[in-house]
């Protein structure tokens, strides 16, 4: 049997077996791949002692990963990054890098390795966070939207960091200014070539190649390798060339098909990369690994969230939102591992430093998965100790009602259903007070002269200010079942004669809320199905109604979401 075939077979079988175990433990499979490499490496079994060819294979994984990052990069998303997410992303990266650098230096590490490790600590895993938030139906929540915007900013900064590092020499020596200018000039010329190819060649070429699925796949990979090789020849890394190659194809109408076909190939090679990375875990005799590892893990797990919480607090957000957004950065990302691996290949960091960051990644990714999953429960336990995060909101009229209300309606949440419901209540001349914990929403409501309070439904002080005991109707558009159950429990406890409408995301939550005493549970999936069925019936009877519905829908969406893109 060929040695290469045997090595790859052992790697894939071991990684798959541990991947199945990771899924059972509800952990990211990246961890399984790194652990598989550790088991196969010299630290345990010694099977992969000098995997030179395997190591070369792993570089294909990183190239294809960045090729797909470029392909999937929608420049329109960058323009829609809100000011809050931008400030949060940039601020977190700066403060984490600065504090991380000081911590590493205190342990006696040199300047360049300290800078690498500090930068690696700043990036959080978009893939892991999106998966966990999706499982909790929290992607469209306030903290979910802010976290995703922040992670997109981090990803862009990670790409910039990789581009800058790729201009360094392979020997590990710092480049001279003249060398940087020459490499930069060559890079600009090559970028101009790629731009010209995209504008005058690629659209026509790929429109012809798209007739054959096999040729479309092979041509895309060939283009990736061509540009990656060209970048490598002028002094950059192949990974950056692959990213630029993907960016050039991102505007093609076939980019999604290319992504779907290249992704399985990427997954195969990226598995080998993480296995090789795990196999490089070393414990140098006499090197104090324990305390740097412990302190850095605590810094990522506790320090990173605290930095985000403080920035969120200064931006005017409540402690719950700040806390939940903070938990999403309690791990380092796959970009962190790629960056430190690149530093090792360039000779800027040693195997010990690569091992240190890899171990930090294994520990923080494992623990943060549970922190994000059980974030709400953790928050409820720590809420009494997080009051220091509360800042006085800069619009004082949003924290007090100037006139006491009676027989009024209280609406929790202005996002999602809230805006439609409030518009209906206003048309019926029903006195309404809106309660929301998004300061950007509150600022908008104040400019529109709407009665509003800054807070959330779990805050008894806010409920008192809203004069809950004299309310005629309560409508919660917040789909958090625990918050809604607490609200219903409070109403039952005080025996209030008030109509209560709450919102649920699942059928099981709907049942629980009805059992807890809700007068009606808004189940958006069921309501949207009924609404679309009525629209479909109208469209079949009158085809022109389709155009009317389309124009009305687009107009309403633009009005509803326009303000969010400015935040």
pLDDT tens, 271-286? 888 888 888 777 655 5
Residues 180 and 75 reside in one and the same domain: yes
Residues 331 and 407 reside in one and the same domain: no
Distance CA 295, CA 107 (A): 10
Instruction: Confirm if 476 and 501 have CB atoms less than 8 A apart.
Output: yes
Summarize the confidence of residues 106-130 as an average pLDDT: 88
Residues 6+ apart with CB under 8 A from 100: 117, 118, 119, 121, 122, 296, 299
Summarize the confidence of residues 149-159 as an average pLDDT: 85
Instruction: Confirm if 369 and 27 have CB atoms less than 8 A apart.
Output: yes
193 pLDDT more than 70: yes
pLDDT of 179-190, one tens digit each?
556 656 766 777
Instruction: Confirm if 126 and 149 have CB atoms less than 8 A apart.
Output: no
Last residue of a domain, one of 329, 348, 383: 383
Residues 420 and 507 reside in one and the same domain: yes
Residues 6+ apart with CB under 8 A from 123: 93, 154, 155, 157, 158, 332, 333, 335, 336, 339
295 pLDDT more than 90: yes
76 pLDDT more than 60: no
Residues 156 and 225 reside in one and the same domain: yes
Please report whether residue 202 resides in a domain: yes
Residues 357 and 400 reside in one and the same domain: no
pLDDT at position 399: 55
Instruction: Confirm if 342 and 239 have CB atoms less than 8 A apart.
Output: yes
Residues 352 and 433 reside in one and the same domain: no
395 pLDDT more than 60: no
pLDDT of 35-74, one tens digit each?
888 888 877 777 776 666 676 777 788 888 888 888 877 6
Distance CA 142, CA 317 (A): 10
DSSP state of 300: I
Summarize the confidence of residues 349-360 as an average pLDDT: 88
Distance CA 228, CA 241 (A): 4
The position carrying tokens 């202005």 is 414
Distance CA 538, CA 178 (A): 70
For 405-441, letters b (16+ CB in 10 Å) and e give: beebbbbbbbbbbbbebbeebeeeeeebbbbbbbbbb
Last residue of a domain, one of 383, 416, 432: 383
Say if strands 432-436 and 409-412 run parallel, antiparallel, or are unpaired.
parallel
306 pLDDT more than 90: yes
Where do the H-state alpha helices sit in 522-543? 524-541
Instruction: Confirm if 271 and 26 have CB atoms less than 8 A apart.
Output: no
Please report whether residue 450 resides in a domain: yes
- Categorize the per-residue pLDDT at 393 as very low, low, confident or very high, splitting at 50, 70 and 90: low
Residues 349 and 441 reside in one and the same domain: no
Instruction: Confirm if 251 and 198 have CB atoms less than 8 A apart.
Output: yes
Q: Which two tokens stand for residue 522?
A: 């808004």
DSSP state of 169: -
- Categorize the per-residue pLDDT at 566 as very low, low, confident or very high, splitting at 50, 70 and 90: very low
**Mean pLDDT, all residues of the chain:** 81
Residues 6+ apart with CB under 8 A from 259: 68, 71, 72
pLDDT at position 168: 55
Summarize the confidence of residues 521-549 as an average pLDDT: 78
Supply the pTM of this predicted model.
0.74
Please report whether residue 553 resides in a domain: no
pLDDT at position 24: 86
Q: Is 416 left (phi over 0), alpha (psi -120 to 50) or beta?
A: left
What residues pair up with 454 in beta bridges, in sequence order?
A: 436
Summarize the confidence of residues 337-345 as an average pLDDT: 84
Q: How many CA atoms lie within 13 A of 426 on its CB side?
A: 13
What residues pair up with 435 in beta bridges, in sequence order?
A: 412, 453
What's the CATH code of the domain at 276? 1.20.1530.20
What angle is formed at CA 330 by the lines to CA 326 and CA 332, rounded to 5 degrees? Answer: 130
Residues 368 and 477 reside in one and the same domain: no
Question: Is the torsion defined by CA of 169, 174, 178, 183 positive or negative?
Answer: positive
What residues pair up with 501 in beta bridges, in sequence order?
A: 475, 520
Residues 376 and 415 reside in one and the same domain: no
What's the CATH code of the domain at 416? 3.40.50.720
Q: 139 vs 323, which has greater pLDDT? A: 323
What residues pair up with 452 in beta bridges, in sequence order?
A: 434
Residues 376 and 421 reside in one and the same domain: no
Please report whether residue 507 resides in a domain: yes
Instruction: Confirm if 322 and 312 have CB atoms less than 8 A apart.
Output: yes
Last residue of a domain, one of 320, 348, 383: 383
CA distances (Å), 373 to each of 41, 195, 465, in order? 32, 43, 32
Residues 99 and 73 reside in one and the same domain: yes
What residues pair up with 453 in beta bridges, in sequence order?
A: 435
Range of the domain at 321: 3-383
Distance CA 135, CA 23 (A): 14
Neighbour tally for 140: CB within 10 Å = 12
- Categorize the per-residue pLDDT at 298 as very low, low, confident or very high, splitting at 50, 70 and 90: very high
E strand or H helix at 410: strand 409-412
524 pLDDT more than 60: yes
Residues 315 and 442 reside in one and the same domain: no
How many domains does the structure of the chain reveal? 2
Q: Which two tokens stand for residue 452?
A: 């509003």
Phi first, then psi: what are they for 521, rounded to 5°? Answer: -110, 120
Share of the chain above pLDDT 70, in %: 86
pLDDT of 421-449, one tens digit each?
898 888 888 889 998 888 778 888 888 88
Phi first, then psi: what are they for 167, rounded to 5°? Answer: -85, -5
Please report whether residue 545 resides in a domain: no
Choose from 64-68, 216-220, 472-476 the range with maximum mean pLDDT: 472-476
Question: Is the torsion defined by CA of 399, 402, 408, 414 positive or negative?
Answer: negative
Neighbour tally for 452: CB within 10 Å = 27
Summarize the confidence of residues 488-508 as an average pLDDT: 86
């Amino acid at each position: 049997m060929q040695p290469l075939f045997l090595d790859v077979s052992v790697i894939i079988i071991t990684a798959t077996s541990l991947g199945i175990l990771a899924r059972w433990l509800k952990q990211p499979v990246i961890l399984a791949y790194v652990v598989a490499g550790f088991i196969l490496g010299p630290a345990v079994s010694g099977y992969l002692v000098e995997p030179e060819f395997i190591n070369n294979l792993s570089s294909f994984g990183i190239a294809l990963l960045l090729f797909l990052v470029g392909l999937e990069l929608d420049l329109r998303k960058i323009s829609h990054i809100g000011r809050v997410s931008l400030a949060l992303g940039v601020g977190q990266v700066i403060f984490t890098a600065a504090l991380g650098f000081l911590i590493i230096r205190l342990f006696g590490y040199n300047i360049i390795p300290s800078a690498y490790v500090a930068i690696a600590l700043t990036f959080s895993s978009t893939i892991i966070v999106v998966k966990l938030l999706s499982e909790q139906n929290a992607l469209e929540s306030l903290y979910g939207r802010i976290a995703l915007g922040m992670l997109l900013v981090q990803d862009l900064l990670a790409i910039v960091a990789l581009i800058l590092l790729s201009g360094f020499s392979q020997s590990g020596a710092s480049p001279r200014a003249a060398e940087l200018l020459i490499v930069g000039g060559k890079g600009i010329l090559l970028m101009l070539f790629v731009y010209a190819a995209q504008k005058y060649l690629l659209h026509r070429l790929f429109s012809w190649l798209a007739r054959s699925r096999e040729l479309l796949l092979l041509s895309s990979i060939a283009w990736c390798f061509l540009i990656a090789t060209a970048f490598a020849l002028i002094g950059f890394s192949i990974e950056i060339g692959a990213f630029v190659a993907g960016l050039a194809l991102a505007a093609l109408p076939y980019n999604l098909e290319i992504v779907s076909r290249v992704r399985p190939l990427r997954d195969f090679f990226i598995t080998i990369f993480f296995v090789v990375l795990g196999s490089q875990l070393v414990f140098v005799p006499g090197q104090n690994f324990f305390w740097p590892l412990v302190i850095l893990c605590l810094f990522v797990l506790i320090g990173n969230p605290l930095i985000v919480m403080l920035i969120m607090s200064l931006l005017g957000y409540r402690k719950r939102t700040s806390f939940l957004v903070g938990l999403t950065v309690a791990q380092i990302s796959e970009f962190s591992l790629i960056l430190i691996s690149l530093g090792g290949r360039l000779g800027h960091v040693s195997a010990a430093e690569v091992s240190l960051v890899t171990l930090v990644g294994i520990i923080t990714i494992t623990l943060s998965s549970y922190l994000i999953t059980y974030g709400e429960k953790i928050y409820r336990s720590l809420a009494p100790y997080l009051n220091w995060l509360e800042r006085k909101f800069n619009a004082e009229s949003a924290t007090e009602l100037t006139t006491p209300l009676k027989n009024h309606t209280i609406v929790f949440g202005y996002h999602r259903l809230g805006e439609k419901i409030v518009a209906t209540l206003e048309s019926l001349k029903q006195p309404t007070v809106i309660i929301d914990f998004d300061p950007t929403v509150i600022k908008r409501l104040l400019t529109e002269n709407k009665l509003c309070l800054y807070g959330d439904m779990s805050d008894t002080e806010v409920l008192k200010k809203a004069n809950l005991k004299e309310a005629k109707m309560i409508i919660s558009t917040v789909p958090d079942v625990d918050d809604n159950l607490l609200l219903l429990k409070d109403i039952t406890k005080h025996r209030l004669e008030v109509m209560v409408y709450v919102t649920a995301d699942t059928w099981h939550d709907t049942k629980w809320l009805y059992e807890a005493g809700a007068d009606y549970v808004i189940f958006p999936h069921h309501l949207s199905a009924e609404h679309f069925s009525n629209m479909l019936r109208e469209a079949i009877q009158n085809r022109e109604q389709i155009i009317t519905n389309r124009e009305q829908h687009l107009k309403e969406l633009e009005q509803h979401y326009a303000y969010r893109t400015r935040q």
